[in-house]
Amino acid sequence: MLIRDILLEYDRDRARQALGDTLWKAALKDGKGLHRLPNSALDVYASEPYTDSRRAIADVYASPELQKRLADTALQWIEGVDPSTNKKYTQWMARMYANGSEPRIEDVKSTLADKVKKFNKLSIKRMLPAGKNDINRYKTATELYDEMDKYPDVEVLEKGSSKKEYEDDDVMVVVPEDQKAACYWGSKTRWCTAVDGRDNYFAHYSKDGPLYILIPKHPKSDGEKYQLHFDSYQYMDKNDDPVELEWLLTKRFPGLLKHFMADPKIGEELGSMVQFTDDKTLQSVSDQIWDIAGDRVNDILADWESNDHTYYDWLKENGYVLDDGEVLWAQAPSFTEYNDDAADWYNTMEDLLHPTPDGMRRMVADIDQKSGASYDEEFRGSVYNLESYIADAIEKAFRRSGYGESMSEWIHKNIRIVRTKSGPKVELIKRDARGRPIA
């Protein structure tokens, strides 16, 4: 073994220590389907374990042994796809995973590993210029992808077996039926279903439902393509970045929404997404949430009023209290008329807990776009997760004042939306004497 190779020899313990908490936190987020969540938000989850999922996160935070196990498992996966003999790329690949550059282990094992394999081949053949032949010069996975895309692939792709699902003047939709077809139609993308080799994820996804590859007739960018997998709630562009499904089905390719809505299974799922749910259903959900949560808002406001002794003094000073102490409530200004902070709090709560259908759509789109939804993919944008979106919107609206924390937590703990034959139904969660939900 050369001295250079000895110096570069990989050691798992050193790699884990070098990456610190970022590695196990990345693995934890990935395993919980929260890979888009920043570490700061994960820290909040661990500090407020009021759901089963958050308790599991809190357990990991409290256990160095579980943290080490998560980190070692991630490293073991990455070691297995490192194309070098001395695992010299493993730590760099793990860093891309830990820093969120490639936050899903399946994409690390497929797309990232595929590009590193190409980098390794080009490096061995001395085909990379100075400054581009050191893997550590690449600060993000995207930087490596962009550089590797400049070099042609050597392999000739076989077309495989596929079927044409749909076609109009704007787009052709193809469903690959084997891995070869997935690679062929997914060429020059960063999808884990389009990489060559054993770490291709076509079989993993296709067993649950078809993959729909959208080929634009009039591309708006070089290599524009999209892949939809409704069963895993993943809708990706060629760079494997999430794309807004509403935009894709109603603006980019207007004919597709009608086509997919006609499919019984897909149509049901699309119909449960807020952006595609009709106004009548959304208004019904909004009214039901307010019927339940509005009582809680009024209780909090009543407590606020009873603890604000200046309000009574003010009423007395302005002649609304008789000599015997009786308050002339019929004539007296309400507490919200007296206290501007209380009025603002109540009005904001009503706006967020009782939104219009368009208000709901804006709320969901804003949270998903700006903060990256922290929900399982199944519930992203779903009408059956509206209570979580509302709770998060309340927490965001009152972040500085802290006036929304108790209400946000109460919604998470006490409200759920369930499927019924007549449509979404909002329920107040019943609990036993020990505070556990009663099914």
Cα 89 from Cα 313, distance rounded (Å): 72
| pLDDT score at 199 | 87
How far is residue 254 CA from its own chain's centroid?
25
Residue 54 lies in a domain: yes
Residue 436 lies in a domain: no
* Model pLDDT for residues 129-184, shown as the tens digit of each residue: 998 999 999 999 999 999 999 998 756 678 999 999 999 999 999 999 999 999 99
Q: Which of 148, 170, 203 is the last residue in one of the domains?
A: 148
Residue 156 lies in a domain: no
Measured CA to CA in angstroms, residue 13 lies from 76, 84, 395, 433 at distances of 11, 19, 40, 47
Torsion of CA 109, 111, 112, 114, to 10 degrees: 90
| pLDDT score at 6 | 38
| pLDDT score at 325 | 87
Residue 154 lies in a domain: no
Residue 157 lies in a domain: no
| pLDDT score at 152 | 83
Say if residue 334 is in the same domain as residue 241: no
Say if residue 85 is in the same domain as residue 175: no
Q: Which of 148, 175, 196 is the last residue in one of the domains?
A: 148
Q: Is 86 left (phi over 0), alpha (psi -120 to 50) or beta?
A: alpha
Say if residue 65 is in the same domain as residue 96: yes
Which residue in 340, 391, 338, 336 sits closest to 363, CA to CA? Answer: 391
* Model pLDDT for residues 325-364, shown as the tens digit of each residue: 899 999 999 999 999 999 999 999 999 999 999 999 999 9
Q: Which amino acid belongs to residue 377?
A: E
Q: What distance separates the 2 farthest-apart alpha carbons in the chain?
A: 99
Say if residue 141 is in the same domain as residue 45: yes
Query: Mean pLDDT by 10-residue block, N- to C-terminus, for the chain (439 residues)?
Result: 46 92 95 84 80 83 95 94 92 96 94 94 92 95 94 77 95 96 94 90 96 97 95 92 91 95 91 92 96 94 92 93 90 94 94 96 83 56 91 86 79 91 90 66
Question: Total domain count for the chain?
Answer: 3
| pLDDT score at 5 | 41
Say if residue 202 is in the same domain as residue 139: no
Say if residue 267 is in the same domain as residue 388: no
Could you tell me the two tokens for 14? 């050193």
Say if residue 249 is in the same domain as residue 288: no
Say if residue 141 is in the same domain as residue 167: no
Say if residue 63 is in the same domain as residue 24: yes
Say if residue 13 is in the same domain as residue 144: yes
Burial class, 367, CB count within 10 angstroms (exposed 0-12 / middle 13-18 / buried 19+): buried
* Model pLDDT for residues 369-390, shown as the tens digit of each residue: 765 444 555 567 889 999 989 9
Residue 335 lies in a domain: yes
Say if residue 113 is in the same domain as residue 31: yes
User: What totals of helices (H) and strands (E) does the chain contain, helices first?
Assistant: 22, 7
Please give the residue range of the domain that contains residue 115.
3-148
Q: Which of 243, 271, 299 is the last residue in one of the domains?
A: 271
Residue 9 lies in a domain: yes
Residue 437 lies in a domain: no
Cβ-contact 32, 53 below 8 angstroms: yes
Say if residue 202 is in the same domain as residue 251: yes
